[in-house]
Amino acid sequence: MGRSAFGSAAPILRVGSLAASVEYFVTVLGFQIDWEAPAITSVSRDRACLFLVQEPEDLASAWAWIGVGDVDRVFDELRAKGARIRRPPTSYDWGMEMQVEDLDGNVLSLASAPHGTWIPVDHR
């Protein structure tokens, strides 16, 4: 039997208020709404997709890593919009990385490669 290809991953972030979280992701973080259902919404920005799920009784923060073209540029954009910056752009061996939190403490780790942008893997 042959191997089945994996698609892209979409982290699921639990949130206390779906409406408030969607507003924050769209207005402050620059995501767009892909689709909505009563307790879950899919948001994306470029090729990054996240699911926001309302679960106010069982909030445990999660982390999602997203490769970006230019961390400094994203930092300037998000800071100007009032994003909750957890860590400003910091240089590591693997590249530049910043961290931003959503309204429920979920962390988006946004990183760019040391010598240019991350090259997405597409095995179609």
Per-residue pLDDT of 34-77, as tens digits, reads 999 989 999 999 999 999 999 877 767 899 989 898 999 999 99
The total number of structural domains in the chain stands at 1
Q: Is residue 124 part of a domain?
A: no
Q: Is residue 4 part of a domain?
A: no
Q: What residues make up the domain containing 30?
A: 12-112
Q: Is residue 118 part of a domain?
A: no
Q: Is residue 106 part of a domain?
A: yes
DSSP string, the chain: -PPPPP-----EEEES-HHHHHHHHHHTT--EEEEEETTEEEEEETTEEEEEEE-TTS----EEEEE-S-HHHHHHHHHHTT-EEEEEEEEETTEEEEEEE-TTS-EEEEEEBTTB--------
pLDDT: is 67 or 121 the higher one?
A: 67
Q: What is the CATH number of the domain that holds 65?
A: 3.10.180.10
Per-residue pLDDT of 13-36, as tens digits, reads 999 999 999 999 999 999 999 999
Q: Is residue 1 part of a domain?
A: no
